[in-house]
Amino acid sequence: MSLVHPLHETSVYQARRERVAQWMLAHGGGIAVVPTGGLRMRNADTSYPFRFDSHFYYLTGFTEPDAWLAIIAREGQPTQSWLLCQPKNPESETWDGKRWGPDAAKEAFGFDGALSVDDIDTWMAQQLVGHKQVFAPLHRSSVQDLPAYLQRWINAARTPVRVAKPVPTHWIDLTPTVSHHRLVKDNRELDVMRESARIAALGHCAAMRAVAPGMAERGLEAELLGVFLREGAQAAAYQTIVASGANACILHHAAGASQIGENDLVLIDAGCELHGYASDITRTFPASGRFTPEQAALYDIVLAAQDAAVANTAPGLSFNAGHEAAVNVLTQGLIDEGIIQASLEEATEKGLYRPFYMHRTGHWLGLDVHDAGPYRETEEDADEPDWRRLEPGMVLTIEPGLYITPESGAPEKFWNIGIRIEDDAVVTETGCELITRGVPVARQEIEALVQSGKLG
């Protein structure tokens, strides 16, 4: 039986489902279905590790594959939540582990009803009758053919033509609503995220101490994963990026067989997943324990850009304020180093920083590393709605970088330097709390940490 979150509180998940149910009632009521997906094959009879769907988990806390949540919201009647999950099966459980089964899951997870997922087609066809609307997460769902399921069930519900009651004619996307609910984290979620961040920071420290010229990038990945798993995380939150030398200019370079060179910078972008919650940290450090003058100059620009973005991460400020502040500092730094030849005004207006900084300065963080939640206020009639204002409890990354390729036209002494510095920030009442500073960012502290691994 997959373990429930150690901080699992059934009432928290019930309250989340009720919030969705009330939103459904406010939009005409109906029935909602949220799937979690099943095992996917990797090769032959071997599957990828299963990871639950984030929306489903947010609303249930249930971590087994092949399950669905149904929420029934009908005007004038109590709302109901049902779980359809794998039935008990002693033979399968001998191979793959214990399952909750519907009866135990209903009690433990606080549902109004539960039944075997094997009966879902019949049950859904019956349940849909009498509802005009069906709600489902039509994007960001782990089940990509969700519309095909809905179509099949609606057709089945309509088949007994003698049924006088309505069958849904409208599909409503639940993703924007659940994503919006997920955007502001509660204290329990924030505690888990702080712990996820603490573990990821430890992993980065271990990798900095372990680095040695001649090592393969994957050797450092092993250091990170070892710490993540020993410290209680369930997995890496995303493909670990360990990029040495020129590889650091490839934004999502997966750790590979490249050998780390004596004068290389190593860029590591790695985070763990703890009870579903991601951390996401990037650090860049010299394999030798000493930045070259060019590496140091660019490092300090990126760090100053991050400081500027942090100072612009506070409640009431726009999500984009941090990005704008970072871009200004990066642009001025590129001018100062002779990489851009233009005034700040002209460089900013023409976006001359873009060949060297091609991503945004942050994203929401939570159950998904690029978490759900809108980046814009939802003004339905505005052509371009304003950026969202930050609120306490939102969590985002702050991750400026500079990537100097030979093709960029920069002076040769800067070629193949790639630097990113990424921390995770919780918006507080007055500003933001950086939860990933268990690993240093200051240049001298990074040098000291790398050098400490080379002693003895």
Binding site for ligand GLY (CB under 6 A): 238, 269, 280, 363, 369, 399, 422
- Beta strands 241-244 and 113-116 are unpaired
Locus of tokens 């609503």: 177
Interface positions, 235-274, toward Mn ion (CB under 5 A): 269
Cβ contacts of 146-149, under 8 Å, gap ≥ 24: 146/35, 147/171, 149/33, 149/35
The least CB distance from residue 322 to Mn ion, in Å, is 13
Active-site residue, from 53, 217, 269, 368: 269
In terms of CB distance, is 399 or 447 closer to ligand GLY?
Answer: 399
424 binds Mn ion (CB under 5 A): no
End-to-end, the C-alpha distance of the chain in Å comes to 46
Do 362 and 168 contact (CB within 8 A), yes or no?
Answer: no
The least CB distance from residue 269 to Mn ion, in Å, is 4
Interface positions, 389-408, toward Mn ion (CB under 5 A): 397
The answer to whether 422 is a known catalytic residue is yes
In terms of CB distance, is 184 or 254 closer to ligand GLY?
Answer: 254
For residue 17, CA distances in Å to 265, 282, 444 come to: 47, 35, 49
The least CB distance from residue 239 to ligand GLY, in Å, is 8
The answer to whether 64 is a known catalytic residue is no
The least CB distance from residue 251 to ligand GLY, in Å, is 8
Locus of tokens 């092993």: 222
Separation between Cα atoms, residue 92 and residue 86, nearest integer Å: 11
E strand or H helix that includes residue 300:
helix 293-311
Q: Which of 172, 225, 211, 184 is nearest to 33 (CA)?
A: 172
The answer to whether 420 is a known catalytic residue is yes
The answer to whether 170 is a known catalytic residue is no
In terms of CB distance, is 217 or 447 closer to ligand GLY?
Answer: 217
Q: What is the DSSP letter of 68?
A: E
The answer to whether 188 is a known catalytic residue is no
Cβ count near 198 (within 10 Å): 18
Q: Which of ligand GLY, Mn ion, none does residue 238 bind (CB under 5 to 8 Å by kind)?
A: ligand GLY
What is the number of the residue whose Cβ is closest to ligand GLY? 269
280 binds Mn ion (CB under 5 A): yes
In 3-state terms the chain splits into helix, strand, coil percentages (rounded to 5) of 40, 20, 40
Show the tokens assigned to 410.
């920069």
The answer to whether 359 is a known catalytic residue is yes
The least CB distance from residue 287 to Mn ion, in Å, is 20
Residues that bind Mn ion (CB under 5 A): 269, 280, 397, 422
Active site residues: 45, 252, 269, 280, 359, 363, 370, 399, 403, 420, 422
